Amino acid sequence: MNPLGVLRFGLWALRQRRVMQMTPDQVAAVQQSQLRRLLRRTVERSPFYRRKYQRLDVRRCRLADLPSVTKAEIVDHLDEVVTDRRLSPEALERFMADPANTQRRFLGKYVVCRTSGSQGAPLTVIHNALSLEVMYALHMTRGRVQQAGVVEGLRRLFKPSRVAGVALREPFNSSTASWDHTPLAARAFMNVLRLRPTDPDVIDQLNRFRPEVVIGYVSFLDRLALQKDQLHLAPELQQVVSASEVLAESARANFREAFGVPVLNYYSLAECVFLSNGCPTDLGAHVNADWAILEVVDQNNRPVPVGQPGHKVLVTNLANDVQPFIRYEVGDRVTMATTTCRCGCRLPRIASIDGRTADYFWIRAGDDYRQLLSFVFKTAFEGLPGLREWQVIQEERNRIHVRLEPLPGARPDQSRCLALLRHQLESQGLGDTLEIEVEVAPRLDVDPTTGKLRRIISHVGPPDDLEAVMRGAEFARA
């Protein structure tokens, strides 16, 4: 390992922490500088974006002037989106056809992974070196409860931080690619233990490793909390980080009590792995606005006021100039915080992430179809005591099966659950439209292909005449 490279990375990582105390105007200036650099390179080298922005002066145009881009566009035009012509879809597919290449970089420089396709066609994501360097630098300096400084950085060179990362180990899994390719310089400051949520000896591995940080899916942390009496991680454990799944406040409080340390909630995407870092004192996560732009918008890409949930978000990754994601549409319902937090960070804070707008059922309401979004269930079940987790399955067009997993020793009131859900449905003008069955289940199983809990499952799917429904004047959302 190159000592000079390690020193350079450490000092660069420490400088990232200064941004947390910048004024909004100062952060905006850094962001604009990064955006102009990205746009210049993108227009020069990406045929797709050059065509998309042909009527715009990218040196001066506003961010809002840039058209958004969808996942389907990136999938369909990958060969024209990328700025390195060697990154052809055919070459990438050949590379990913060999599971052994998971531990290798494509062309010796690019980390390649694939999204699960749970929200449509799978997307091949290509990380340049800077993307992962930013992710690890921000984790070391902004995503830690312990204050980062020169003295702490030097101490970590002699005693690296111990981080336990829990995720699936499927080849080219988007949730684990960054773990497989930790930058060499970052390895000097941290010792990473890779765990699978399905490992039978996961408790023993954690107890032997004595991590300072545990990062995992909410569903996995939930299982750990159930076995807290078998964990012996104090006093080394400093924080627990939830990633990849929505973290409810009730679950956050439960984890805080079970592990005895602050619980941070990260919100990121395979397309922008450093989008935010969790807040150690308050709900939500701080957007790393010097490296990413998060726009909370309505259905027509108009900005939504702070404090109100959007219909989706537009994400711009300012570090990845090999596969640019600029105003990239993601169907997450995000609400930005209206108040400052207690941790002192001045970066914008996400107050809540309510899951994907695409997490919905199509149901019949008289002669029309309606979309029933997942937040209706989330809002109903938040008021149910003794509930650990929930899942809703659409068995028929207007028949759903609600499954409830209780906290240890608790038994959620099924009639109370039904009443709360009926109340929410009535508030959406749906009344007794749905036939509802409620079941208390000992445990809700995670999806074996992703390692995450699927809260919304439909065995019915959209209407056969979906396009006509979408065009119809009576189309509405619950």
Nearest-angstrom CA–CA distance, 278 and 284? 6
Q: Side chain identity at 110, as an amino acid letter?
A: Y
Which pLDDT score is estimated for 476?
A: 39
Q: How far apart are the first and last CA of the chain?
A: 56
Bridge partner list, 356: 332
Q: Minimal CA–CA distance to 377: which of 263, 267, 458?
A: 458
Distance CA 192, CA 212 (A): 10
Residues 167 and 284 in one domain: yes
Is-contact 8 1, C-beta < 8 A? no
C-alpha distances out from residue 263 to 70, 141, 317, Å: 32, 16, 26
Considering the domain architecture, whether residues 384 and 302 belong to the same structural domain is answered as: no
User: Rounded to an integer, what distance in angstroms lies between the CA atom of residue 1 and that of residue 5?
Assistant: 8
Report the 10 Å Cβ neighbour count for 452.
21
Residues 403 and 342 grouped into a single domain: no
Question: How many residues make up the chain in this entry?
Answer: 478
- Per DSSP, the three-state class of 332 is strand
pLDDT of residue 466: 56
Please indicate, yes or no, whether residues 423 and 294 belong to a single structural domain of this protein. Answer: no
Q: In the prediction, which pLDDT does 426 show?
A: 87
Residues 380 and 308 in one domain: no
Detail the DSSP E strand segments found in 318-378: 328-330, 332-336, 349-356, 360-365, 368-373
Which amino acid, residue 401? H
> What does DSSP say about strands 239-242 and 190-195: parallel, antiparallel, or unpaired?
unpaired
Domain final position from 327, 356, 385:
356
Q: Report the distance separating Cα 313 and Cα 332, nearest Å.
A: 6
Neighbouring-strand partners of residue 399: 396, 435
Same domain, 348 and 368: no
Query: d(Cα 9, Cα 431) in Å, to the nearest integer?
Result: 58
The distance of Cα 449 from the centroid of its chain, to the nearest Å, equals 17
Same domain, 352 and 409: no
- Total structural domains in the chain? 2
Annotate 206-245 with b (16+ C-beta within 10 A) or e (fewer): beebebbbbbbbbbbbbbbbeeeeebebeeebbbbbbbbb
Pull the structure tokens for residue 415.
């009639």
Judge if pTM exceeds 0.85.
Answer: no
Do 239 and 331 belong together in one domain?
Answer: yes
Do 387 and 342 lie in one domain? The reply is no
Residues in the chain predicted with pLDDT less than 50, given as ranges, are 118-119, 470-471, 473-478
Domain containing 391 equals: 360-477
- Do 92 and 112 form a contact (C-beta atoms < 8 A)? yes
Output the 3-class SS for 367-424.
CEEEEEEHHHHHHHHCCCCCEEEEEEEEEECCEEEEEEEECCCCCCCHHHHHHHHHHH
Q: What is the CATH number of the domain that holds 429?
A: 3.30.300.30
**252 and 124 within one domain:** yes
Residue with tokens 């984890």: 255
**Last-in-domain residue among 291, 322, 356:** 356
β-strands 190-195, 332-336: how paired?
A: unpaired
Q: Which three-class secondary structure state does DSSP give residue 289?
A: coil
**Pair 67, 177 in one domain:** yes
Q: CA-CA distance, 295 to 64, in Å (whole number)? A: 10
- On whether both 159 and 50 belong to a single domain, the answer is yes
DSSP state letter for 117: -
Spatial distance between the Cα atoms of 134 and 351, rounded to a whole number of angstroms:
23
Q: What is the pLDDT of residue 248?
A: 74
The domain that holds 287 is classified in CATH as 3.40.50.12780
The count of other CB atoms within 10 Å of the CB of residue 141 is: 24
Alpha-carbon dihedral sign for residues 92, 268, 178, 253:
negative
Query: Buried (b) or exposed (e) across 253-280, using 16+ Cβ within 10 A?
Result: ebbeebbebbbbbbbbbbbbbbbbbbbb
Are 157 and 130 in contact by the 8 Å Cβ rule? The answer is: no
Q: Please tell me the predicted confidence (pLDDT) of residue 469.
A: 54
pLDDT at 118: 47
Q: Which of 341, 356, 371 lies at the terminal end of a domain, its last residue? A: 356
| CA 362 to chain CA mean position, Å | 25
| The token pair that represents 367 in the structure block | 């002669």
